[in-house]
Amino acid sequence: MFVNPHIGSPVTAKCCASISFKRSDIIYNQGDAADHWYEIVSGAVRTCFFNRRGQRQVTAFYYGGDVFGVDNCTYVESAEAITDLMVRAHRLCPDDADEICDASGIFRRALDLSRQRVVLLGRKTALQRVAAFILGLPSIGSDGNRRFLPMSRADIADHLCLTIHTVSRIISNLIRNGIIRIENKKFLVINSLEDMLDISGDEQIGAEEKYNTGIAIYNNVVNAQEYRKWIVHKS
Amino acid sequence: MFVNPHIGSPVTAKCCASISFKRSDIIYNQGDAADHWYEIVSGAVRTCFFNRRGQRQVTAFYYGGDVFGVDNCTYVESAEAITDLMVRAHRLCPDDADEICDASGIFRRALDLSRQRVVLLGRKTALQRVAAFILGLPSIGSDGNRRFLPMSRADIADHLCLTIHTVSRIISNLIRNGIIRIENKKFLVINSLEDMLDISGDEQIGAEEKYNTGIAIYNNVVNAQEYRKWIVHKS
DNA sequence: CGCGAAGTTGACATCCGTCAACATGCGTGG
DNA sequence: CCACGCATGTTGACGGATGTCAACTTCGCG
């Protein structure tokens, strides 16, 4: 069994232990035995998946209050600290999985996230991806438009499956157009939420007139009858 | 509660009922109450997800012996018959979920599938996607190289997030180069499995000399130390 | 035989990765 | 405190992959 050097093993208290990590510390590695799950007290984390060819995918970012590392038996991704980090580690035993209230619920959430990523990667342009990513950053303080941006361009690129060049160019463009601005490197302010929503392609139904402008729609809806039915069903 | 017109409700036998569908019949709709799961006796099924803009994603294909529709409460995708279809429908109640051996296991499998799709969409070219898709088709008979290809180009395109034009062009190219051939429209024969594996980018580690030829690798591995550790760990 | 759906193919435009150069920032040591 | 070097980020030029548009062919079905 893999022993996390930062925690030691076994953790005596069933519930939790507080641990701090430094920036770019590894919390656990892909392939390690999944013996703990984590709750972020402060800081930010990225989870990464490396495939056989060495391509890194940043599968998710987590911030204060989030939970990560709820894997089964073996971690399928590794987790690394993006900033200095404080977490509470919880023991994860196969036989007291009920400790985490609903195991299948957690997989379900992961599945939803993954499916969102499929939409993002399969159907969105680089500009739309970056905009959607920025909209998903955690808000800072009471102003909903100030966002925390702790990760590097490489992290963003590997999350959105783009190059750092493209990410950098797009962010520069958004700044040049006055839609966002950067404060102190690690904070991002959205000047025009409306523009961002518009660009990201995530705006609500009801703006049909925009559907065929600007951004390519290239789906091949075959069973349009069903699609119509569903739209009616939802609205 | 939604009543599937093909099944009626409630299904009296707890276990199952055999039902047949015609080509392009809808088995259930996205958003319907998830009251049954299905086992394919013969034929093929596609599951689709429609997003708010009406873009269709074909999330998976299922063939004889496969199980689909194991959702929780509400179907998140719709299921449609690709061919004439025979299934066995099983009642799915929240309280006897143990009937399906392990609910979280099924989510886990769906999650793995979805993560594979993320790799495919984020990191593969159109040619690689089509090749990987063909390799994933079910074999027919004892010859592992004869595959069943029941779905339309539009289905394939919406599954791989490409256009039908690109799919068509790539398949034509593979045929022209003698790597595959089509028999009777609905069957595909792989002439050179080696070439297909090579093209798909799914070949095993150990062919490092190929890593930098032909196909772009554009990941931004930051924590290379960790990556090395993991590779060692796996091999 | 005729018609609509599905598939194929070519010309062209555009997005974004590649390559290259340079700027900026940060940490370390003198 | 400054100098240096490395990591990170920015920007431009260019090309290739793939979407778009259009025309045509093939197929299935009545």
The strand D neighbours among A residues 163-192, by Cβ under 7 Å, are 164-165, 167-169, 171-172
CA atoms A91, A47, B235, B109: torsion sign: positive
- Residues A217 and B53 sit within 8 Å (Cβ to Cβ): yes
Task: Specify the DSSP class assigned to residue B9.
Answer: S
- The 10s digit of each residue's pLDDT in A132-144 is 999 999 998 888 8
What is the residue-level pLDDT of chain B in tens, covering all 235 positions? 333 333 333 333 356 789 999 988 889 988 888 888 899 999 999 998 877 666 788 989 999 988 888 776 778 788 999 999 999 998 875 554 444 445 556 666 777 778 788 888 988 999 999 999 999 999 988 888 999 999 999 999 999 999 999 999 999 999 999 999 999 889 999 999 999 999 987 754 333 322 222 222 223 333 333 333 333 333 2
Task: Specify the DSSP class assigned to residue A138.
Answer: P
Scanning B151-170 for CB atoms below 8 A from A yields 152, 154-155, 157-158, 161, 163-164
Structure tokens at B51: 């997003």
Distant-in-sequence, close-in-space partners of A66: CB < 8 Å, separation ≥ 6: A39, A40, A45
- Residues B110 and B100 sit within 8 Å (Cβ to Cβ): no
The strand C neighbours among B residues 104-163, by Cβ under 7 Å, are 152-154
Contact status of B213 with chain A (Cβ, < 8 Å): no
pTM over 0.75: yes
